[in-house]
Structure 1
């Protein structure tokens, strides 16, 4: 079955019947995510040898746009997922990539930092720089303590993994990217979603004060995340912009 055929079935049978409930009541489209995973669409861009679809940016953008026409929340969730998976596919370990390929892992982006007391849903915050994160990473042995207040995180509390940015753990310049599992200790998501993002997208704040991850959770080189954001994440977000306004904007200032 082609990805387009699988997508058509999921959109007509699962996404469309629940789209109004998602919009009106702000209910996260969990059933849609589950069926997208079963249909192989969450793993669409993972290498075929790991069980994924082996597809690329063009096909992922097609899925995002098609879903967003029916349910903007589902489109936003897929947009963040595919952008995060693009980094995991290049730098992540085979187990994580296999879980995504099997449709068991939903990923999201935790890139925009907010200050304590700042309303993550307040207007005018879209220009917060993502290329110079305030959040820190402190490494002790094989464990890294991450401290940050991440705002405008799509699927906050619903995703299985966050692509997380921080200042470098050991290098003096640049930024670093981490694969942070949702079950990481002391990772906190408010009970009520923020006001940004399409209704039902569970766009909210994720707080780490701190949360702990193994040093192996680093994606790429310590301090090398800027190049990854510009070369990988930004193109994926921009290509899928037809799904609506991207939930994050890469801005240098």
Structure 2
């Protein structure tokens, strides 16, 4: 059931309608089989890219959509309503473009950004390592400066779109300590770059998550983004935006679980009445609706602060925390509404619950979000 939205312009409303049309006609028919068979949704990405939906929050001068984050996130929510894995990959793609846009030189942006934003190239974000997830300062993957560039050696982990992306925004160590990490833009075909077997995940199976290994892979110096040692600042600035992306996807997933649960509760009867008319179940659905609306309000508040040029780091963590916890709770309750049927693969609510879980983990676990919020409060 489409949600009525307050959008700032007629163009934004048109974008949302276009997103709904593509999601319904291209994504929806494929999602069940693709998630079961782990089939990469290449056709879906092509359709979204051709419609200009992979570049919405970036300026038109580089081929972007020139849309405020408030609009971009609502588009992302609509994609998540139909197919969470695709929406997560779209969010990661936008995240992977941010370091080049925000820290690249004019020459770097003119050379690479238009093609990245066109939808012809899909990006990935390569920050985590096997021993360095939430603790990004513990990175070990090293970029050693050599004549003309850098040699990259080491391993990365948990790469969404790993082995499928056309480029990787990589964070590697060029010095010691937290100020010894730099950012690089790595083409997929770089010699010495290989990928591990896709992880066998609970959900989001159609989009692979892999490890990567760099074996003396050479990168020209022009592929470094920002200054040497600026990597963590770049990573954290991108993650604030990425957390909002995941909040929007989680909200879309929760909205879908709520809508499916309401539709089922209107059809299913028990004791001579629709189960939605039993107060006990009606209250469960009411709490689910309140959780979804609250999640949407938190990510929109943070997005509007971002669009206004205000500080939004704490609000991004609040949105990510609130929306993903809500998605986990709402999808679990949706399974309960369906009863025994909800525990089977005959209905998609069990998939929604599996997909919601990881959203409490990536882009910074929800425990890390609480830490970020608490530090902001302590420093206020």
Task: Select which of 226, 230, 247 maps to 2:362.
Answer: 247
By how many angstroms is 1:143 displaced? Answer: 2.0
Closer, same or farther: CA 112–187 of 1 in aligned 2, 3 Å: same
By how many angstroms is 1:172 displaced? Answer: 8.9
Determine the C-alpha separation between the residues in 1 that align with 2:48 and 2:169: 20
By how many angstroms is 1:235 displaced? Answer: 1.0
Determine the C-alpha separation between the residues in 1 that align with 2:56 and 2:83: 19
By how many angstroms is 1:169 displaced? Answer: 5.8
* Counterpart position of 1:101: 117
Determine the C-alpha separation between the residues in 1 that align with 2:225 and 2:135: 20
Determine the C-alpha separation between the residues in 1 that align with 2:177 and 2:68: 32
Closer, same or farther: CA 61–172 of 1 in aligned 2, 3 Å: closer
Superposition pairs of residues 1-253 of structure 1, within 5 angstroms: 2-92=14-104, 93=108, 94-114=110-130, 127-168=133-174, 173-190=179-196, 192-196=197-201, 198-230=204-236, 232-242=237-247, 243-244=249-250, 245=359, 247-249=362-364
RMSD: 2.3
**Tell me, which stretches of 5 or more residues in structure 2 are unaligned?**
1-10, 251-358, 372-380
Single out whichever of 88-97 and 166-175 deviates more from structure 2.
Answer: 166-175
Note if contact 2:179-2:232 (Cα within 8 Å) is conserved in structure 1: no
By how many angstroms is 1:220 displaced? Answer: 0.9
Determine the C-alpha separation between the residues in 1 that align with 2:39 and 2:178: 42
**Tell me, which stretches of 5 or more residues in structure 1 are unaligned?**
116-124
Closer, same or farther: CA 171–39 of 1 in aligned 2, 3 Å: same
Single out whichever of 4-13 and 220-229 deviates more from structure 2.
Answer: 4-13
CA deviations over 1:225-246 (Å, ceiling 9, x no partner): 111222x222112212222416
By how many angstroms is 1:132 displaced? Answer: 3.0
* Counterpart position of 1:118: none
Please give the TM-score of this superposition, normalised by the length of structure 1.
0.86
Note if contact 1:46-1:100 (Cα within 8 Å) is conserved in structure 2: no
Single out whichever of 196-205 and 143-152 deviates more from structure 2.
Answer: 196-205
**Residue aligned with 1:113, SS:** coil
Please give the TM-score of this superposition, normalised by the length of structure 2.
0.59
**Residue aligned with 1:108, SS:** strand
Note if contact 1:22-1:28 (Cα within 8 Å) is conserved in structure 2: yes
**Residue aligned with 1:211, SS:** strand
Single out whichever of 236-245 and 210-219 deviates more from structure 2.
Answer: 236-245
Closer, same or farther: CA 56–170 of 1 in aligned 2, 3 Å: farther
The number of aligned residues is 240
Q: Which of 1 and 2 has higher RCO (CA within 8 Å, sep 6+)?
A: 1
Determine the C-alpha separation between the residues in 1 that align with 2:177 and 2:223: 16
Note if contact 1:139-1:169 (Cα within 8 Å) is conserved in structure 2: no
By how many angstroms is 1:170 displaced? Answer: 9.3
* Counterpart position of 2:299: none
By how many angstroms is 1:69 displaced? Answer: 2.0
Note if contact 1:187-1:208 (Cα within 8 Å) is conserved in structure 2: yes
By how many angstroms is 1:58 displaced? Answer: 2.6
